[in-house]
Amino acid sequence: MAVEKAERIKELTELLSRASRAYYAQDQEIMSNYEYDRLYDELEGLERETGIILAGSPTQHVGYEAVDELPKEAHESPMLSLDKTKDREELRAWLQGQPAILSWKLDGLTIVLTYRDGKLAKAVTRGNGEVGEVITGNARTFINLPLNIGFTGELVLRGEAVISYSDFERINSRIEDADARYKNPRNLCSGSVRQLNSEITARRNVRFIAFNLVRAQGVDFANSREAQFAFLEKQGFEVVQRVTVTEDTILEAVEDYAGRVESYQIPSDGLVLTYEDIAFGQSLGRTAKFPRHSIAFKWADELRETTLLEIEWSPSRTGLINPVAIFEPVELEGTTVSRASVHNISILRGLKLGIGDRITVYKANMIIPQIAENLTGSDTVEIPETCPVCGGKTQIRQVADAQSLYCTNEECDAKKIKSFTLFVSRDAMNIDGMSEATLEKFLSSGFLHEFADLYHLERYRQEIVSMEGFGEKSYQNLQASIERSREVTLPQVVYALGIANIGVANAKMLCRHFDYDMEQMMQADEEELGAIEGVGEVIATAFVEYMRNQENVRRIRNLMKELRIQTVQVSAEQNLAGKGFCITGSLEHYGSRNELKDVIEQRGGKVTGSVTSKTQCLINNDIASNSSKNKKAKELGIPILTEEDFMAKYL
């Protein structure tokens, strides 16, 4: 039995670590939150029972690892996660007769802010709890963050960077390619805060909500947490909504929060309870992972039992076919639900689903419908061998840590609609007024077979004008937008083609390398592409496979005949030709790293995301920092130059 338990610990540690890595670092989901919590609790219980804790156990680590692209910095003291409960009576017993502060547990990205002399000096993400990422420039763009405060002593506080549900919906609605939309506000916020270009962060309406004062130099708070919150509010910070509770009032307060969670605009996955008496809380100490001054309360998921009616298979532009569970409608958190995404084949198989199975469903964070458990486990759902839209052959592919289903037919109607939707989108050909619904009408009417056909819709003028929702004015506006799109840059065209793994940045990189010559690009092989700094095997393979298809080549040439490719401005002075540079940290003379990157590229140079033996120099205003890039540069003997030194030497 002891051996079996040890093996189970090993199995759970590996599985949960993989799920955590996918969720935090790759923005993927390979199991539901419900399943993760259930397995986590099982692992934690086995560790207590056996005394066995593996080095990689998720019970011993917090959050994601800091990425290489941002400077890293160690926290003064480890940022621990909180112990949790779903039992309201357990929450009341935890108080031990003490008053405490109950507040929302926000679902975003935790940030540590440091102010000195009344000014924001530093912002660092939580990272892995030990080391975080320095995102000071991005924090300055948070819409509600005070850059200057009245208090001039050193102030250190913690809070959550969040994006509201309304802003999440607004941003997603502008992304015309459905495959590229964000899954939830937390993923969008995480990506926004950790951007290398603060201009992108500024467009995302990120808010900072303070939830903990770490230190305020010389201020006596009379041992009161509430006094700390009041102090932060006085300095202009938005502070988490809270209420002081006792053993007599806590259950009523929790019920009040439960009634407001669905209408609350800020993503929240529970509540936090913290002792009002600071000294009392600190006197309780901490465990290896949890401080004892606070505890998290996670909503006990409202489970409903129902019957699985069918699995709907929904194709996308890339050929990915997503499984969606359709079940007998049930009431959950005040609304009727009848469908839930199963995400991928791995989760589908893990749930052992079968039509007619009795399943339990819930709303993750009381919002997103999910399957919690399969009570029958018949495991009879068949993975379709053909695409539900075109009848083409399907294929199961391993993508990162999950298996997913794809349609292999390049002529699939679903792919065509999604491909044309990407083609006309803002970052691609930017054809205003060409919605997905309009494209679907044109495709079903036989007006469109390839991208070049968009530039000959005058052939179908009468049919279009007589379509429902159209008229002469609508037709003229659409034609004007199409004509404007003929003036375009080559990177826009390459991105618009919809080649797998070729985003806007990769399209620009490829065009620069091939001197904006499409024919040269089309003839490149995997070895040549793989030698380009920043192009990996995945991108190279996808690009070459696309260009080896003669039908794709024919269609590209037809398209190019319709376009007038704009010349990209290149500086006459090519003094940086053949030289590679790496930029890190904040800048003073340039508004962003992308701005400096453009200057270098206009002079023939290249900017990479990492320091290698081919790097000419690392540009970093903080020469003395212990960032990973500085260490790498020193190891390789690569010069580290400040912005001014770089400008003096090269510009």
Residue 221 contacts by C-beta under 8 Å, 6 or more apart in sequence?
213, 227, 228, 231, 278
Q: Which of 37, 136, 18, 132 is nearest to 79 (CA)?
A: 132
Q: For residues 132 and 79, what is the distance between their CA atoms, to the nearest angstrom?
A: 10
Task: Output the six-digit token pair for 604.
Answer: 């023939």
Q: Which of 493, 499, 506, 507 is nearest to 563 (CA)?
A: 493
Determine the Cα angle at 168 with ends 138 and 191, to 5°: 40
537: number of CA atoms within 13 Å, CB side?
A: 0
Q: For residues 325 and 306, what is the distance between their CA atoms, to the nearest angstrom?
A: 12
Q: Give the gyration radius of the chain's Cα atoms.
A: 28
What 3-state class would DSSP assign to 29? coil
Question: Of 5, 10, 84, 105, which is the active-site residue?
Answer: 105
Q: For residues 564 and 567, what is the distance between their CA atoms, to the nearest angstrom?
A: 9
Task: Output the six-digit token pair for 486.
Answer: 């003929």
Q: Is 105 a catalytic residue?
A: yes
Do residues 191 and 128 touch, judged by C-beta distance below 8 A? no
Residue 394, beta-bridge partner list: 407
Q: For residues 617 and 441, what is the distance between their CA atoms, to the nearest angstrom?
A: 54
Q: One-letter amino acid identity for 130?
A: E
Helices vs. strands in the chain: H and E counts, helices first: 24, 24
Do residues 474 and 443 touch, judged by C-beta distance below 8 A? no
- CA of residue 389 relative to chain centroid, distance: 29
Q: For residues 217 and 219, what is the distance between their CA atoms, to the nearest angstrom?
A: 6
Do residues 418 and 178 touch, judged by C-beta distance below 8 A? yes
Residue 615 contacts by C-beta under 8 Å, 6 or more apart in sequence?
580, 581, 582, 608, 633, 636, 638
Cα 137 to Cα 141, 224, 232, 249, 593: the distances in Å are 7, 32, 22, 42, 11
Do residues 415 and 315 touch, judged by C-beta distance below 8 A? yes
Strand order of the sheet with strand 155-162? Answer: 119-125, 109-116, 155-162, 207-216
Residues in the chain: 651
In eight-state DSSP terms, residue 588 is S
Q: One-letter amino acid identity for 175?
A: I
Residue 59, beta-bridge partner list: none
- Going 318 to 321 to 322 to 324, the CA torsion angle's sign is positive
Catalytic residues: 105
